[in-house]
Amino acid sequence: MKWETVIGLEVHTQLATRSKIFSGSSTAFGAAPNTQASAVDIALPGVLPVLNRGAVEYAIKFGLAIGATLNRVNVFDRKSYFYPDLPKGYQISQLAKPIVEGGALKIQVGETERIIHLTRAHLEEDAGKSLHEDFHGMTGIDLNRAGTPLLEIVSEPEMRSSAEAVAYARALHTLVTWIGICDGNMQEGSFRVDANVSVRPAGQTEFGTRREIKNLNSFRFLQQAIDYEVRWQIETLEDGGRIEQATVLFDPDKVETRMMRSKEEAHDYRYFPDPDLLPIKLDEDWIEAVRATLTELPVAMQARFQSEYGVSAYDAAVLTGSRALADYFETAAKACDQGKLAANWVMGELSAALNKAELDIAQSPVSAAQLGALITRIQDGTLSGKLAKQVFEGLWEGAGEVDAIIEARGLKQMSDSGELEKIIDAVLAANPKSVEEFRSGKDKAFNALVGQVMKASKGRANPAQVNERLKARLHN
């Protein structure tokens, strides 16, 4: 039987506010346990939550960026369950009236473009951390993270493969970091993905029973977990088994998912509106003020890159993978006025070098202006592609500016035809055998001569010119 995979993602993005969503404590990562937990975070008796408007503004910003509906009145609810790292015994979240509803995100899988619709995005507070390893026979509680603002972003179940799920997660990651509402640091848990996965016979309209894979904190794990889960579900069904609704965890070491709790064990969260917090009211002035802080979004920039710089849809999508990358590309492209060439260099030589050195675009040793200057020298014939790569290496090593490196290393493409003729004379004189072979019809011998000329010029000769001049001389 042919199966179809159905995936919906719930992504917890940690909002990059300096203080927590309902208290003044810092949200900075990595402090000593419980040093960033105030009376409110510890849930001492009598303390009350006070909403951080910055978190609301980030949610508005997200809603505007995905073209969603912003609920002008939205409400905080209490979600109740007992756990030691949940100090109040309830989490403040939004159930019935989330701040953001609807909206859509464009994803690119290879050359294919798809629109994924979002269900909703709601504000909530994070829980603390339970530290099971560090205390023998006991569990430590760190409440530094308790109360950190989260925007939980829920997609429609519209993805049909792990590749699409990863593309969606990446596009979302790009967007939330692009608009500056999340630092995107997946290792620190700033962007955590839950995947709802089900399978159904191809052509069937109703969904299969889903299982939810919790807390995936890398794109690779997301892909592996979904692939494993899909295989497991299909095998289970093909063996005559049934899928029970459940929450599962992904074990990255064994590359498999395992059951965390079944539907029967699911909590009754006893949601009700939090009486300590007034409904959030969004007025038009507030929304417009936030809209004014939005700069050009990835989708708009992709369209512009295609029309302005003539790059392909795929290249445009890659180049807008992050704000920093897009800015880099555009600075370089403007500096040399060569969009396509700039795109090739950024996605080719530069990306390869950055990957190899495990550096982020923001840490690139070669600045966008330098790359632009380099491309300019290719364009004006000063450098061949090969020489340009040597200059790029120089730039990477911090050997100075483009022209200085060209000068210092003598990498300038030979423009003086007299000098080239002299080299050709010498090469022809030194390789009579090759000349003889060429004249007797062996084309290979020509290439050997070209190689000799290039070598003698230390790569500075223009290959096209070498070809032309050499042919002219040999046919004499």
Partner 1 sequence: MSESSLSALAAQLAAKQISSRELAQHYLDRIAALNPAINAFITVDADRTLAEAAAADALRAAGNAGPLTGVPIAHKDIFCTDGWLTTCGSKMLHNFVAPYDAHVIQRFKAAGMPSLGKTNMDEFAMGSSNETSYFGAVKNPWNTAYVPGGSSGGAAACVAARMAPAATGTDTGGSIRQPAALCGITGLKPTYGLVSRFGMVAFASSLDQAGPMAPSAEDCTLLLNVMTGFDPNDSTSLEREKEDYTRDLEKPLSGLRVGLPREFFAEGLNNEVAAAVEAAVTDLQKLGATTVEISLANSQLAIPVYYVLAPAEASSNLSRFDGVRYGYRAPEYTNLDDMYCKTRAQGFGAEVKRRILIGAYVLSHGYYDAYYLQAQKIRRLIANDFGEAFKTCDVILGPTAPGTAFKLGEKSGDPVEMYLNDLYTIPANLAGLPGMSLPCGFDSKGLPIGLQLVGNYFSEAKMLNVAHQYQRATDWHARAPEGLE
Binding interface with partner 1 (CB under 8 A): 39, 42-51, 78, 80, 82, 84, 87-90, 139, 141, 268, 270-272, 275-278
Q: Which amino acid is at 429?
A: A
User: How many CB atoms neighbour CB 97 within 10 A?
Assistant: 17
Q: How far is the CB of 170 from partner 1 (least distance, A)?
A: 36
Q: How far is the CB of 321 from partner 1 (least distance, A)?
A: 40
Q: How far is the CB of 88 from partner 1 (least distance, A)?
A: 5
Residue written as token pair 């109740």: 80
Q: Which is nearer to partner 1, 279 or 381 (CB)?
A: 279
Q: How far is the CB of 39 from partner 1 (least distance, A)?
A: 6
Q: How far is the CB of 101 from partner 1 (least distance, A)?
A: 21
Q: How far is the CB of 48 from partner 1 (least distance, A)?
A: 5
HEC string of the chain?
CCEEEEEEEEEEEECCCCECCCCCCECCCCCCCCCCCCHHHHCCCCCCCCCCHHHHHHHHHHHHHCCCEECCEECCEEEECCCCCCCCCEEEECCCCCCEECCEEEEEECCEEEEEEEEEEEEEECCCEEECCCCCCCCEEECCCCCCEEEEEEECCCECCHHHHHHHHHHHHHHHHHCCCCCCCCCCCCEEEEEEEEEEECCCCCCCCCEEEEEECCHHHHHHHHHHHHHHHHHHHHCCCCCCCEEEEEECCCCEEEEEEEHHHCCCCCCEECCCCCCEECCHHHHHHHHCCCCCCHHHHHHHHHHHHCCCHHHHHHHCCCHHHHHHHHHHHHHHCCHHHHHHHHHHHHHHHHHHHCCCHHHCCCCHHHHHHHHHHHHCCCCCHHHHHHHHHHHHHCCCCHHHHHHHHCCCCCCCHHHHHHHHHHHHHHCHHHHHHHHCCCCHHHHHHHHHHHHHCCCCCCHHHHHHHHHHHHCC
Q: How far is the CB of 4 from partner 1 (least distance, A)?
A: 31
Q: Which is nearer to partner 1, 50 or 430 (CB)?
A: 50
Q: How far is the CB of 163 from partner 1 (least distance, A)?
A: 37
Q: Please, are residues 124 and 153 in contact by the beta-carbon 8 Å criterion?
A: no
Q: How far is the CB of 368 from partner 1 (least distance, A)?
A: 46
Q: Please, are residues 454 and 460 in contact by the beta-carbon 8 Å criterion?
A: no
Nearest-angstrom CA–CA distance, 360 and 340: 22
Q: Which is nearer to partner 1, 88 or 211 (CB)?
A: 88
Q: Which is nearer to partner 1, 29 or 269 (CB)?
A: 269
Q: Which is nearer to partner 1, 42 or 332 (CB)?
A: 42
Q: Which is nearer to partner 1, 130 or 447 (CB)?
A: 130
Nearest-angstrom CA–CA distance, 101 and 154: 9
Q: Please, are residues 81 and 89 in contact by the beta-carbon 8 Å criterion?
A: yes
Q: How far is the CB of 278 from partner 1 (least distance, A)?
A: 6
Q: How far is the CB of 147 from partner 1 (least distance, A)?
A: 14
Q: Which is nearer to partner 1, 74 or 384 (CB)?
A: 74
Q: Which is nearer to partner 1, 47 or 448 (CB)?
A: 47
Q: Which is nearer to partner 1, 46 or 240 (CB)?
A: 46
Residue 381 tokens read as 């014939």
Q: Which is nearer to partner 1, 267 or 439 (CB)?
A: 267
Q: Please, are residues 402 and 392 in contact by the beta-carbon 8 Å criterion?
A: no
Q: Which is nearer to partner 1, 34 or 431 (CB)?
A: 34
Q: Which is nearer to partner 1, 88 or 120 (CB)?
A: 88
Q: How far is the CB of 82 from partner 1 (least distance, A)?
A: 6
